[in-house]
Amino acid sequence: MRVLKLVLVLAISVVAGAQAQDKLEQDRQAIKSLAGFYKVNFNYAEVTSPNPDYQFSKPYKSHGNEWAEIIVDEPKRIVIQHMLAINDSTVIKHWRQDWTYEDPEIMLYTQDNAWKKITLTPADVKGKWTQKVYQVDDSPRYQGYGTWSHVGGHDAWQSETDSPLPRRESTTRNDYNVLNRGTRITITKEGWMFEQDNKKVLRTAKGDKVLAVEKGYEEFTKVDPKKFDYARKWWDSQKTYWADVREVWADLAQTTRSDFKVQTKANGKLLYETLFTLGDESIKEHWSATQNKEKIKAALLPYLVK
C-alpha cells in the first residue's frame, strides 16, 4: 500500500511538473509575439473624476510606426526593444520592456522620479512574470507583475502599479505626480492590444488624492517590415552602445540599497539628449565597450540624486 501511494505521489509530481513547463513555454511564446513590425494607434481619454468641478483634459490621439525587436531571449528572461520609425531617414529609440519570470526584486515608483527597491516573497511571484518598462534613455519607468492566462486560445496578462506621468503630460501638467496604471495586454490575430485603466493621483505626505480616471488603449497592428529598413540599419549600428548603457544602468541599480532617484535634466541637458549624443560619438570614434561604459557612467552620475 505504501509503495502504491509513493508511486501515485511521484506520478502526480511528474504531471504537475510537465504542466508547469508547458505553461511556462506558453507564457514565453505569448511574450515573444509582442515583437514585430506595427502601426500603433494611441488613444487616451479621462472618463470620470471624484471632483464634480474637475475640468477634463482633451482626449489624446496619435499614431506611428513601431518596431519591437527581441534583444534577449533566455528561458526566464525576454527583453524587447521598441523603435519608432518616423520616415525613411529618422528613427527614435523608444521604450523597452524586460520580462522576467518569478523575479523577487522589483523597483516600485514612489513619486517625483524616485523608485524604491523591494523584495517580494516566493509566493507573491510564483508563476508570474514581471514586466519592467524603461524610458528611451533606459532609466526605469515602471514595473508590475502578473500571471499570463491562456484560456480558449486567448493570451492575456495584467497588472497594476504606479508610474511617473505619461510623456504626453509630463511637460504640460503639474497637478498630479503619480499615474496608477491598470494594464492589460491581449494578443490578437493582427498584433496586440495594450489597454489601460489609469488613476491620476496627487501623492503628498497626507496620502493619495485621485484627480481623475482615464481609459486608454494602444493598438499594435502588424504591417510590412519594409517600412523599417532604415530603422533596422540604424539599430544595427547603435545596438552595441545601448547594450553598454543597459549594463551601466543595471550596475547602478544593483549597487543602490533601496531608494533610486533620477532627475531628467542636468547641466542644461535632458538625460536622453546626453545619452543619444554620446551614442553618436561612440560610433563615430569607434569606442570600445570599456570606453563606452566609462563615459556612460560619468555622463549618468550628474542625473542621479543621492
Whether residue 9 lies inside any domain: the answer is: yes
- pTM, whole model, 2 decimals? 0.91
Dig out the grid coordinates for 141 from the structure: 519607468
The count of structural domains within the chain is: 1
Mean pLDDT on 21-32: 96
DSSP string, 143-162: EEEE--EEETTEEEEEEEEE
Whether residue 263 lies inside any domain: the answer is: no
CA nearest neighbour of 199 among 218, 175, 215: 215
Residues belonging to the chain: 306
Q: Is the pLDDT of residue 240 over 70?
A: yes
CA dihedral 83, 218, 253, 145 (to 10 degrees): -140
Point out which residues pair with 259 in neighbouring strands.
116
pLDDT tens track for 51-71:
999 999 999 999 999 999 999
Report the CATH number at residue 177.
2.40.128
| Max Cα distance, the chain (Å) | 78
CB 271 within 8 A of CB 121: no
**pLDDT-derived band of residue 259, with 50, 70 and 90 as boundaries?**
confident
Whether residue 88 lies inside any domain: the answer is: yes
Q: Is the pLDDT of residue 13 over 60?
A: no
Mean pLDDT on 86-94: 89
Burial (0-12, 13-18, 19+ Cβ within 10 Å), 122? exposed
CA distance 69 to 235: 10
Distances (CA, A) of 238 to 119, 180, 197, 214, 305: 33, 33, 35, 36, 28
Whether residue 258 lies inside any domain: the answer is: no
What lies within 8 Å, CB to CB, of 260 at 6+ separation is 107, 114, 115, 116, 117, 140, 253
Edge to edge, the sheet with strand 259-262 lists: 105-111, 114-119, 259-262, 304-305
Residue 4 is predicted with a pLDDT of 58
pLDDT tens track for 176-219:
999 999 999 999 999 999 999 999 999 999 999 999 999 999 99
Whether residue 299 lies inside any domain: the answer is: no
Q: Which phi-psi region, left, alpha or beta, contains residue 153 (left: φ > 0; alpha: ψ -120 to 50)?
A: left
Dig out the grid coordinates for 244 from the structure: 553598454
Whether residue 298 lies inside any domain: the answer is: no
Q: Which domain holds residue 101?
A: 2-224
CB 153 within 8 A of CB 164: no
Whether residue 230 lies inside any domain: the answer is: no
**pLDDT-derived band of residue 2, with 50, 70 and 90 as boundaries?**
low
**pLDDT-derived band of residue 17, with 50, 70 and 90 as boundaries?**
low
In the three-class reduction of DSSP (H, G, I as helix; E, B as strand; rest coil), residue 81 is classed as: strand
What lies within 8 Å, CB to CB, of 185 at 6+ separation is 34, 156, 157, 158, 192, 193, 194, 195
